[in-house]
Chain A
């Protein structure tokens, strides 16, 4: 394995609290750097602030204080429009609940990833097919998500997340709804993606998932408590 490169993600004393007076502090002074090409697992009990951290890393939320640098650029100064562009082109998301649209085919679900990005319309179908081919679902492109197994649905979601060739893949409990065999398939896919240079940040309760990452950090009550190598 190559040495980690320059930080792609850099959280500097990031806090996030919700509500006014008597606010709940979800993150309290988080310091975390993730190098390009790294694979980091964030673990911790429910309510510790894992999802809040993922939302900030994915530019779906803003820190209350502190700074988050994406590829060296402070994101606090970015406009809403520019943050959207970054999500569309640089960041992929994989969710526990898959979030596939019913009524749309597998191919259409994957192609949705191009809607708000920079890939022209005529390119989208071909690229989406390539991505589905890569996750081993080229024979399912015309299927509805409801007819697929859980593992297949998550692979469709991964194809959707990576078909735009993002630099960062954020996965929120990616195996939370899957059995052991399907989980293993997804983790193998993540290993492959990471080996190809994709930066991965995974939130998980599952120790087996965390063990596949190169780095593991634990968060409790909004603080990183035991970063482990």
Chain B
């Protein structure tokens, strides 16, 4: 042992209150980090809950944003090459919207002459409640099924709205002859029990037999057609009480959207172009958005519940930790720690655990979004604020979870804690 003398403090007045404060924020952080890392297994258990909760939240919101980005991209490409021209509507006396103009019979000739229009089709929804069957027999015992909608079409539908047909699409000859032919959407064909159009099966719309010439497997721009029965407009007007076309679907050259949307209403009604509106067709984005919104809510709630569970996990593990560390708390009090300093340390430990869970959770969430996006060929869209916000949320959860255990730790009587150990 060395010969150095101890230097007990001289017998002077007690140290002043102001001098007794060298416990810095750095000390607090160092002690908290040491406390957190002292038992890695305890750390892992307490981090997992927050990690899963934050990870689920970031993944949910990130995938939602990415999907929305995808829809927007698709919408942009549709908007660049497709237009829909419809009569403008005005609210009538009955409170319903009524068209203020009607599409003329030679509308297709008029719009296809416009520069930039590559294909056009006129569509009319048939509001006539027709009974549609695949057999001529009316079986009164059969369950009444909702018939598929009938869409009357004139012009080059496939070119105008895109899509794939097995068999064939009816053509101008069918229209001019007013033939009773039909193309079934794949959904409608399934509902009617028709598998293919190779044998030219018939369907019966009311008393009229229509020959099925093709089945529409898909349509990019008008997905609703897949569940419909498509017939020539002239035939529908003769047999099914169809009115004039209510929509013109145009495929246009890239860059021509602005010009065509301006010129098409003039071509249809030179004296009253305001009677028509031209816009990019709806792409189902709204429906997609609704579904995505519901999914988001479900995952958001799952994430939130997991986060709460994670917070409870932190609180639980911290409580256990306090029981285990009673002698340490007693020692710190003996070394001069105030109750507030003990509480601050445990609060900070919880904050660190929560922030760590938030940080790793956000990273896992981002990674998941990136992996899913790569697998789907999407462009991942992530808000930086979401990542930062979720990390902060993790910290807040930790802080909230640490409140009660911290108060318990501060109340530990040092004499008891030192005696018990």
Binding site for B on A (CB under 8 A): 5-6, 8, 36, 51-52, 55, 58, 60-61, 70-71, 73, 80-82, 84-90, 93, 95, 97, 99, 101-104, 112-121, 130, 133-136, 162, 165-167, 189, 192-193, 196-199
The number of A-B residue pairs with CB atoms under 8 Å apart is 141
Distance, CA A196 to CA B7, complexed state (A)? 7
Distance, CA A105 to CA B322, complexed state (A)? 22
Contact B337 A86 (CB under 8 A): no
Contacts of B7 in A (CB 8 A): 165, 196
A5 to chain B: closest CB distance in Å?
Answer: 8
**CB within 8 A of A116: which of B1, B11, B23, B34?**
B23
Interface residues of B in 380-421 (CB under 8 A from A): 413-415, 418-419, 421
- Is B49 on the interface with A (CB-CB < 8 A)? no
Contact A60 B20 (CB under 8 A): no
Known: A60-B334, A85-B15, A89-B336. A119 touches B415 (CB 8 A): no
Contact A99 B1 (CB under 8 A): no
Interface class of chain B by DSSP:
loop
B340 to chain A: closest CB distance in Å?
Answer: 8
Contacts of A101 in B (CB 8 A): 38, 328, 331
Closest residue on chain A to residue B7 by CB atoms? A165
Contact B2 A133 (CB under 8 A): yes
Contacts of A52 in B (CB 8 A): 415
Contact A115 B335 (CB under 8 A): yes
Contacts of B22 in A (CB 8 A): 114, 116-121
Known: A58-B334, A84-B336, A84-B337. A95 touches B418 (CB 8 A): yes
Contacts of B238 in A (CB 8 A): none
Interface residues of B in 215-250 (CB under 8 A from A): none
**Best-buried of A52, A99, A104 by chain B (most CB within 10 Å):** A99
Interface string of B312-327 (1 = CB under 8 A from A): 0000000000000001
Distance, CA A115 to CA B4, complexed state (A)? 24
Contact A88 B20 (CB under 8 A): yes
- Is B19 on the interface with A (CB-CB < 8 A)? yes
Contact A165 B11 (CB under 8 A): no
B254 to chain A: closest CB distance in Å?
Answer: 67
B43 to chain A: closest CB distance in Å?
Answer: 12
- Is B26 on the interface with A (CB-CB < 8 A)? yes
Contact B14 A118 (CB under 8 A): no
Contacts of A97 in B (CB 8 A): 327, 421
- Is B96 on the interface with A (CB-CB < 8 A)? no
11 extra interchain contacts, Cβ-Cβ under 8 A, other than A8-B11, A70-B14, A81-B17?
A: A71-B11, A84-B333, A84-B336, A85-B336, A88-B20, A90-B9, A99-B328, A102-B38, A115-B31, A118-B22, A134-B4
Contacts of A80 in B (CB 8 A): 338-339
A61 to chain B: closest CB distance in Å?
Answer: 5
Contacts of A8 in B (CB 8 A): 11
